[in-house]
Each structure stands twice: as C-alpha cells, then as structure tokens.
C-alpha cells in the first residue's frame, strides 16, 4: 500500500510538471521589480529582525536587477513565464573572459519543478553561443537542492566564501596602504587575479573603478 501510494504521488507530480508550460524570454527593465521580489521572498526564512545582515542587501535588490534589465550589452538577463506570469529569472555577466552566472531566482510556489534547471541551461547555452571558455557562480552553502542541480550540470566546488558586512574597522597595517583604484592599476590587478584564479576580471574591475567602488592595497616594498 505504501508503494502504491508513493507511485500515485510520483505520477501526480509528473503530470503536473508536464502540464507546466514554461516560456523563456530576454528580460526587460519593467521585469526587474518582480524578479527582485522573488529574491526577497526566497531569503525571508533567513531574516529574523530588521538588523539581520541580509536586510540591507535585500533592500538593494531592485537596484541590483535594473542594470541587467536595461539592455546593458555586457549583462544578459532571462525570465521564465508560466501562463504569462513571471516565475523566475537568471543572469549571465559577460564583462570578462570567464562569464558569471546569477543571481537566479524562482518563485517559491513553482520551485522544484525544473524552472531553475531551464533557466540555468539557457544561460549556459548563451555562454557557449558567445564562445566563453568557462563560467562561474556563487552558491549559498545552505541550499542543498540548488547545489545538487549545479553538480548535475557539471559545476565543481572550488572554494568557500564568507560575506561580511558592517562598519569598517579603520585598522592600518604598517607597510600597507589602501587607496581608490584607477585605470592605471588594471595591469597589476589583472596579474594578481591571474595568479589567484587563472583568469582576469578586467571588465568588472573597469566598471567598479568608474563607480568609485574599487580599491587597491599597496605594499611599501612593492
């Protein structure tokens, strides 16, 4: 009886998935707010107060999405629609030699129905079409389902990352100085990036320099 019940559940899930008709299309500026809302909904379980480290990031989500949806040639955005309603989105950053995938978001009500897989396969196909030698992404360690999906798609975990937020400590280390990066630093920064990652991220660095958010550390003996 347990086996039969399980089979019926699986059959029901399979039928539901077949009946879903997902359409993928390139995103436009007016889609940004809706897609940002999905990202906020996805992160709600992690927030327990207005002082949560994620709160400030979540408040910035709409502005993070707008540039990608404003026909910026170096960032490609795709949305998934179900019956004319947006249910997910994904991006691929094409500014540097190794493309960056994400962030990917799927409406909670339609998660675990292959929407995320289709969005991932779409941007991976885009990377192949644009002849990128490789692509990368950052995976939230707590989300095992998406980690499993990325593994099935051929991604390999390289290193752990820690996201720290808060006021600067204003600590100075003797022999080292920090200053805003300029375009004259591109060559040296690319060399460091090549040593660490095996490729540069010049496109992203150029934009960060223009925005005034890039900094460099210089050693006194350099």
Q: For 147-176, how does the pLDDT look when each residue is reduced to its tens digit (9 = 90+)?
A: 899 999 999 988 888 877 788 888 889 999
Strand ranges, E, within 119-175: 135-136
The answer to whether the beta carbons of residues 186 and 205 sit under 8 Å apart is: yes
- In angstroms, the CA 35 to CA 27 distance is 10
The three-class DSSP label of residue 102 is coil
Domains of the chain from N-terminus onward:
21-152 (3.40.630.30), 176-219 (no CATH)
Residue 198 backbone class (left: φ over 0; alpha: ψ -120 to 50; beta: rest): left
Q: What DSSP assignment string belongs to 67-91?
A: HHHTT-TTEEEEEEEETTEEEEEEE
For residue 132, the model assigns a pLDDT of: 95
Q: For 53-87, how does the pLDDT look when each residue is reduced to its tens digit (9 = 90+)?
A: 555 555 555 556 555 555 577 889 899 998 888 99
- In angstroms, the CA 38 to CA 185 distance is 38
For residue 34, the model assigns a pLDDT of: 76
- Higher model confidence: residue 106 or residue 132? 132
The answer to whether the beta carbons of residues 87 and 106 sit under 8 Å apart is: yes
Question: Is 200's pLDDT higher than 90?
Answer: yes
User: Which of these, 79, 153, 152, 88, lies nearest to 121 by C-alpha position?
Assistant: 153
Cβ burial of 93 (10 Å; 0-12, 13-18, 19+) is buried
For residue 28, the model assigns a pLDDT of: 81
Q: Give the largest CA-CA distance in the chain.
A: 75
User: Which of these, 96, 92, 71, 94, lies nearest to 203 by C-alpha position?
Assistant: 96
Lookup result for tokens 């029901």: 12
Average the pLDDT over 205-211 and give the result: 93
The three-class DSSP label of residue 58 is helix
Please count the helices (runs of H) and the strands (runs of E) in the chain: 8, 8
For residue 222, the model assigns a pLDDT of: 53
Average the pLDDT over 181-209 and give the result: 95
Question: Is 37's pLDDT higher than 80?
Answer: no
The answer to whether the beta carbons of residues 119 and 89 sit under 8 Å apart is: yes
- Higher model confidence: residue 66 or residue 88? 88
Q: Give the strand pairing for 105-106 and 85-93.
A: antiparallel
For residue 101, the model assigns a pLDDT of: 93
């Amino acid at each position: 009886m347990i086996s039969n019940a399980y089979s019926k559940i699986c059959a029901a899930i399979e039928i539901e998935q077949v009946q879903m008709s997902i359409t993928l299309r390139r995103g436009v500026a007016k889609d940004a707010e809706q897609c940002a809302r999905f990202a906020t909904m996805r992160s709600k379980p992690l927030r327990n107060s207005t002082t949560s480290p994620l709160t400030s990031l979540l408040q910035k989500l709409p502005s993070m999405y707008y540039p990608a949806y404003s026909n910026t040639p170096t960032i490609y955005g795709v949305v998934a629609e179900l019956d004319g309603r947006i249910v997910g989105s994904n991006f691929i950053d094409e500014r540097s030699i190794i493309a960056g995938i994400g962030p990917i978001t799927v409406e909670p009500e339609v998660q675990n129905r292959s929407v995320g897989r289709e969005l991932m396969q779409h941007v991976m196909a885009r990377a192949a079409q644009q002849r990128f030698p490789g692509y990368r992404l950052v995976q939230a360690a707590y989300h095992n389902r998406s980690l499993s999906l990325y593994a099935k798609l051929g991604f390999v975990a390289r290193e752990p990352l820690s996201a720290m937020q808060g006021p600067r400590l204003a600590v100075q280390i003797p022999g080292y100085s920090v200053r805003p990066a300029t375009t004259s630093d591109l060559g040296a920064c690319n060399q460091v990036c090549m040593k660490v990652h095996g490729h540069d991220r010049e496109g992203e660095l150029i934009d960060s320099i223009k925005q005034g958010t890039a900094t460099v550390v210089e050693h006194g003996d350099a």
